[in-house]
Amino acid sequence: MFKWTKMTAACVLAALVLAGIASGQEAPKGKIKIAVVGDSLCTNSEVPWPASLAKHLGDGYEVKTFAANGLTVLSNTYRTIWRRYEHVNAANYRGDITLVCFGANVAKPGNWRRKDEWAALYKRLIGMYKGDNRKVYIVLPPPATDESPYGISREILHKETIPALKEIAKETGSEVIDAHTPLVDRPDVTGEDGLYPTPTGHEVIARAVYTGLTGKPLPAVPVKKPEPKPEAEKSSGPIPDPIKKPAVGETVELMPADAAGPKGDGPDGQGNSPDDTWGFWFELAHSQGSYHRLNLATVAMPENQRKNGIPRKVTGPIGAWLPNPADTEGWIFSSDWDGRGEGVWGDKKAGCIFVHPYNEKVYAGKIAITCRLPAGEYALSAKLTDMLVVGGDGVRWMVEVADGGTRAKPLAEGQPFGDKVGPASVDVDVKGIKVEKGQLIRFVIDPNNHWGADMTRIENLKITRIK
């Protein structure tokens, strides 16, 4: 059995000096402290890459992760690190080595418009982790295989953000660890969502980081062959269109059960497609014009959180805002920095829906209620109430007609309500919504640039065919 001694610790420190990554100060228990600061790309796996890195490095190191879903170094945006305990704890930890792993979330088109601010804040963050011979490495984010996973632009991430990270490293005297290139063109390292690494991907990243820190290569991770797909059962005839064309005057209504158990995806599992049923589902927009189905948006959450927390009862500050929290359940997409969170819930007792779009003073954070319909002309009606009239700029609503996931120009749009001077409730009544084959109606609740106080009650949301 290996025995740790003072002589061993001295040898480890001496080796680190030769490698250029010594801490310059005595580490507790003879270990070199490594802090991993970043977003959910560092955590979203049963064995995330920092854990694999720790195993590869061995007993001479302590690796601690300070990361969470959605984090970015931008201020006043969705889950900024400057208001998070992860940053405070990482700064207090004073790692001999800090691995800074941000870049994916800023590659959303809306966020990237603030790239100069982002670069300045990134440099500031690095400065807080350096000093006393402590070193900082920028770990380049893994590639995106989809054009816009979670609103992140693959074009921006690959062609603009990564070069910008290399420039930031140069300007701050930091080093770069390339966790991007080893994952390019490998079909086994990125999940079906187009962004998050698979377990194999996390292991590839861990080995890349190990080599970046020590200069010693590890054996390459073998390419994992995809499992063969089972043969589809042969159909005895053409598959009928499951979407029944509604008769004139027929109505579909959003019910609390729709929020507690969102539906809308048909048997093919491809989201909005011809096999989907005429019903409601929910979408998030965390960047301009980029909507994601609820079940896709929650892929980013840890497995135990998805299993135990969605759907779930409303607790905490949001629960205190609702009239019947014991009779209200639904879907929490993510929790914001002060524990409120965004989500959709159905109140069984009151017979209504509550939505809470979360928005930190940017245009992201909308929640959309979506319904795919056969071709025809429709009307949409509902009553909306701002549950938290505490000032600010109120809530807005929009009705859109779109093709699949593509955002269309609003067909109708309401003035903000629930602000300092406007009414707390409004009635929505939009007629003449013309839907062509394959299109959908999207009813959007927009927090209108104000963060944290836009819990909206939705009653009697109905869509009726009029022609």
- pLDDT tens string 390-404: 656 788 899 998 876
345 beta partners: 330, 354
* CA distance linking residue 71 with residue 82, whole number of Å: 9
Structure confidence at residue 181 as a pLDDT band (50, 70, 90): very high
| pLDDT for position 55 | 96
- Name the band, by pLDDT with cuts 50, 70 and 90, for residue 250: confident
Residue 23: domain span: 19-214
Top pLDDT among 406 and 439 is at: 439
| CATH number assigned to the domain comprising residue 178 | 3.40.50.1110
Total number of domains in the chain: 2
265 inside domain: yes
Closest CA to 213 of 4, 52, 67, 22: 22
Which residues, 6 or more positions from 406, have their beta carbon under 8 angstroms from its beta carbon?
A: none
- For residue 229, being part of any structural domain is answered with no
The average pLDDT across 330-355 equals 75
Q: Are residues 295 and 371 in the same domain?
A: yes
Question: Mean pLDDT highest for which of 17-26, 133-142, 369-378?
Answer: 133-142
16 falls in which pLDDT band (50, 70, 90)?
very low
Q: pLDDT at position 2, please?
A: 33
Are 193 and 291 members of one domain? no
**Residue 381 falls inside a structural domain:** yes
Domain boundary among 164, 197, 214: 214
Per-residue pLDDT, 375? 84
CA distance 241 to 113: 43
Q: Of 252, 175, 243, whose CA–CA distance to 214 is shortest?
A: 175
Q: What is the pLDDT of residue 85?
A: 82
**Would you say residue 428 has pLDDT above 90?**
yes
312 shares its domain with 413: yes
Whether residue 380 contacts residue 399, with contact meaning beta carbons closer than 8 Å, is answered with yes
Using pLDDT thresholds of 50, 70 and 90, give the confidence band for residue 452: low
290 with 371, same domain: the answer is: yes
List Cα–Cα distances, 174 to 50, 66, 68, 137, 166, in angstroms: 19, 19, 23, 6, 9
pLDDT of amino acid 409: 66
Whichever domain contains 303, its CATH number is 2.60.120.680
Same domain, 132 and 57: yes
Q: Are residues 459 and 386 in the same domain?
A: yes
> Which range scores top for mean pLDDT: 91-95, 347-351, 353-357?
91-95
**In the prediction, which pLDDT does 232 show?**
42
The pLDDT score that the predictor gives to residue 289 is 61
The pLDDT score that the predictor gives to residue 304 is 58
Q: Same domain for 205 and 256?
A: no
How far is CA 466 from each of CA 52, 196, 277, 296, 374, rounded to the nearest angstrom?
A: 59, 44, 19, 33, 13
Average pLDDT, the chain: 79
Confidence of residue 262 (pLDDT cuts 50, 70, 90): low
pLDDT in tens, 47-61: 999 999 999 999 999
The pLDDT score that the predictor gives to residue 308 is: 52
My answer on whether 186 and 49 are in the same domain is yes
pLDDT of residue 298: 62
Judgement on whether residues 308 and 402 belong to the same structural domain of the protein:
yes
Residue 225 lies in a domain: no
Given a contact cutoff of 8 angstroms between Cβ atoms, the answer to whether 315 and 136 are in contact is no
Give mean pLDDT, residues 82-106: 91
Percent of the chain at pLDDT exceeding 90? 37
155 and 290 part of one domain: no
Residue 322 and residue 400 share a domain: yes
Sign, CA dihedral 444-449-452-457, equals negative
Residue ending a domain, choose from 214, 229, 260: 214
pLDDT at 348: 83
pTM greater than 0.85: no
